[in-house]
Structure 1
């Protein structure tokens, strides 16, 4: 500590109680936003289930609902990523308090205020900000939940084209069945490939960024 910095004073009982209540409040907010994440995931699962029911209701049913439900899945994914960024703020603060307040107090009885971990937390309250980018949030939600939703949508769509109204005999039939109105089948399948590949790339790159962040998790700026 330099000469211009005042020595850190010990926290008294009242201040310890305030921090304990602060932790409870952050846990509550984290729980509320975690519930909101589950809600958007449930919406995606339900809408995909409806599309599957309509598409496979009969051999003559159109596979178009499985294409259109992709628009809703994108909307729900974006909404969930936005909610995740809020959730991550409260979760990071809870984890910071657990690491630097709860654990040292239980293990050593010393909060190690000389390490200035409380300044990082105070700065986060004075100047609140998101701890992860939107792309990172999207990648995390894809890896956690939406990978399986997108996989089921893709497999179901291709399966519908292959088996209904009867199993295809030649590859050209797949392109014929994939056509939608004035859009040829090859264009529809190409857009679908770009659709799936884009989300996969985002998930992969965000995963690499998270791995790099985990290697520096011990730093004082590692919240989030």
Structure 2
């Protein structure tokens, strides 16, 4: 006979165990699909940056403007990827929660420890679904994982283009002249570029510190989110 637990919940019977097994498979599938979508937006960023590099360095007379314009596309892809990451993080967290509290205890002890009420937390997440991280945290994580290198290559290529084409720049004024876009002076364009890089860097650092602080205060080291 199944013994009742402290909260009145009986132990899982074989049918319920089967349902949870299928649920785990479904969550793994959903996390895999959304992980693939993350790779897609990263690929879009890499490809568009590659096209901009090809155009900009096609000849010494080619304009560096494509490297500036591609930054707008990279920001758009970053926002789209951060949004997708928030969805992916929900499915990933549920999979990890099931692995931590369902699969591992079953393999090690044969006891799911339902008295710890981990199943209630999972049930509440299904009843009241929500994002486990905010948008800025998601943006910061994607910058740290992928977009830092994309932005670094974009910035280095842009500065390199200004310095070497059509001839090697010898003065700061010459660099400013090459950076000018129509009526917009070059020093202002470079200032915006510096703020662009600095802004994403600040978000990445803040996100890393926020994640570290959250990990210290989390009740369980492998919790949801």
What is the alpha-carbon distance in structure 2 between the residues aligned to residue 220 and residue 31 of structure 1?
23
What is the alpha-carbon distance in structure 2 between the residues aligned to residue 214 and residue 107 of structure 1?
25
Corresponding residue SS for 2:111: coil
Q: State the partner residue of 1:144.
A: 145
Corresponding residue SS for 2:170: coil
* Residue 35 (structure 2) pairs with residue 67 (structure 1): no
Q: State the partner residue of 1:93.
A: 94
For the 8 Å contact 1:216–1:222, the answer to whether it is kept is no
> How far did residue 214 of structure 1 move?
1.9
What is the alpha-carbon distance in structure 2 between the residues aligned to residue 167 and residue 18 of structure 1?
68
- The alignment of Structure 1 onto Structure 2 pairs a total of residues equal to 220
Q: State the partner residue of 1:187.
A: 188
For the 8 Å contact 2:30–2:91, the answer to whether it is kept is yes
- Structure 2, unmatched stretches of 5+, are 1-5
> How far did residue 217 of structure 1 move?
3.9
> How far did residue 134 of structure 1 move?
0.2
Provide the TM-score with structure 2 as the length reference: 0.95
What is the alpha-carbon distance in structure 1 between the residues aligned to residue 185 and residue 204 of structure 2?
29
What is the alpha-carbon distance in structure 2 between the residues aligned to residue 143 and residue 158 of structure 1?
22
What is the alpha-carbon distance in structure 2 between the residues aligned to residue 221 and residue 120 of structure 1?
14
> How far did residue 215 of structure 1 move?
2.0
The superposition leaves residues 40-59 of structure 1 with CA deviations (integer Å, 9 ceiling, x where unpaired) of 00000000000000000000
For the 8 Å contact 2:215–2:221, the answer to whether it is kept is no
> How far did residue 209 of structure 1 move?
0.8
- Structure 1, unmatched stretches of 5+, are none
Between 137-146 and 214-223, report the one with greater CA deviation.
Answer: 214-223
For the 8 Å contact 1:81–1:138, the answer to whether it is kept is yes
What is the alpha-carbon distance in structure 2 between the residues aligned to residue 49 and residue 119 of structure 1?
48
Q: State the partner residue of 1:122.
A: 123
Q: State the partner residue of 1:106.
A: 107
Give me the CA root mean square deviation.
1.3
For the 8 Å contact 1:139–1:207, the answer to whether it is kept is yes
